[in-house]
Amino acid sequence: MKSDKPEDTDSSNTRMSYQDVAMHKVMLQDVVRTEAYEKSIGQVVKPGQRVLDFGCGTGILAMFAARAGAARVIAVDRSPFIATARAIARENGFGNIDFYHDDHHSLQLDEKVDVIVSEWMGHCLFYEAMLEPLLAIRDRYLADGGAMIPAAVSLHAGLVCDEDLLEDLSFLRNRPYGLDFSPIAHVPFAQTDLVTLDPDGIMRNTAHLGSLDMHTIGKADTPRVFTGRIKPEKKARIFALCGWFSAQLSQGITLGTGPADLPTHWDQILFPLPEPFSVEPSRELTISLSPLTEEVGKAQCWHWSITDGEKTLSVNEQQQRLPAGLDLPPGKL
């Protein structure tokens, strides 16, 4: 299991943000992601159409659209990196791409478009906080009968039964170096983490927590809690939940980010449980995941729970705080 915290997308922190070439390189090296988008754009975009790439980054999706024959491509990004994207496009001879340093509030266009493409999904969908801005752009600028890429996205969850995970989470509880870390030993059990899980580390049966149709979903329709059911295939102890998403980019072209899928830069999100949870085939489980923070530039927090109808474990990440007194101004204590 590899652990790596999601990147900071705050514009004040350029290291590993979307102003940093290293982050764009990571995404461009994600061949599964990039080739799936290229194939979908080639399938959907017809010669002469107008295409909007929202959150364009390096502009690679905009260039795919231009290469597919779009008459006009509009590339939009709120990051100053868009000046670099424009330079990349010009270097490759794409003179029909217009670049806008705007967000969903400030963008002003004089026509609607036939296709909106966006790689808006963060880890477990919601880390980028881009869904609501994308829907605002769709409602203003997508022509009647226009296409969205992705066309739909879905959220999934699994049950983590890997004993090595419990050992890792318990590190601070086990008095490392002969010292007592009890003031913070509980924190790893109440914080999400970005991980790459081995398929053997989760139980075979998983839960579908819900889907979003990107053509019809409205801001008010976005679920605040995603819930699904799992019937465990065997008796086991569960130490965490894990979450991931899948996307239908267009007809017949899908992208998965789960433990059993080809690896992508999204990996999976780990949702630890405060204590082991025993499961067995005779007790169906209800799993819930709820994103609590959806604001650009802010860290995402989650609420998650598991219940078999008799026992329930629940964690609200937003409520987890270090002990009182640790947030103090400089000076001797």
For the segment 84-119, what is each residue's pLDDT rounded down to a tens digit? Answer: 999 999 999 999 999 999 999 999 999 999 999 999
Average pLDDT over all residues of the chain: 90
Record the pTM. 0.89
CATH number for 13-119: choose from 3.90.600.10, 3.10.129.10, 3.30.420.40, 3.40.50.150: 3.40.50.150
- pLDDT class of 6 with cuts at 50, 70, 90: very low
- Confidence tier at 315 by pLDDT (50, 70, 90): very high
The pLDDT of residue 328: 63
Is the confidence at residue 71, as pLDDT, over 80?
A: yes
**What's the pLDDT band for 5 if we cut at 50, 70, 90?**
very low
On the CB side of 226, CA atoms within 13 Å amount to: 23
Instruction: State how far the Cα of 94 lies from the Cα of 66, in Å rounded to an integer.
Output: 7
Query: What is the predicted pLDDT for the residue at 220?
Result: 75
Active-site residue list: 119, 128
Higher pLDDT residue, 332 or 168? 168
Q: Is the pLDDT assigned to residue 3 strictly greater than 50?
A: no
- pLDDT band at 165; cut points 50, 70, 90: very high
At residue 263 the predicted structure's pLDDT band, cuts being 50, 70 and 90, is very high
Topology annotation, domain 153-319: Hnrnp arginine n-methyltransferase1 (2.70.160)
Name which residue leads in pLDDT, 283 or 333: 283
User: What number is the average pLDDT over the span 61-74?
Assistant: 97
- pLDDT band with cut points at 50, 70 and 90 for residue 330: confident
Going from N- to C-terminal start, the domains of the chain cover: 13-119, 153-319
In angstroms, the CA 97 to CA 89 distance is: 8
Q: How confident is the model at residue 191 (pLDDT cuts 50, 70, 90)?
A: very high
Task: Give the model's pLDDT for residue 59.
Answer: 97
3 state SS for the chain: CEECCCCCCCCCCCCCCCCCHHHHHHHHCCHHHHHHHHHHHHHHCCCCCEEEEECCCCCHHHHHHHHCCCCEEEEEECCCCHHHHHHHHHHCCCCCEEEEECCCCCCCCCCCEEEEECCCCECCECCCCCHHHHHHHHHHHEEEEEEEECCEEEEEEEEECCHHHHHHHCHHHHCHHHCCCCCCCCHHHHCCEEEECCHHHECCCCEEEEEEECCCCCHHHCCCCEEEEECCCCCEEEEEEEEEEEEEEECCEEEECCCCCCCCCCCEEEEEEEEEEEECCCCCEEEEEEECCCCCCCCCCEEEEEECCCCEEEEEHHHCCCCCCCCCCCCCC
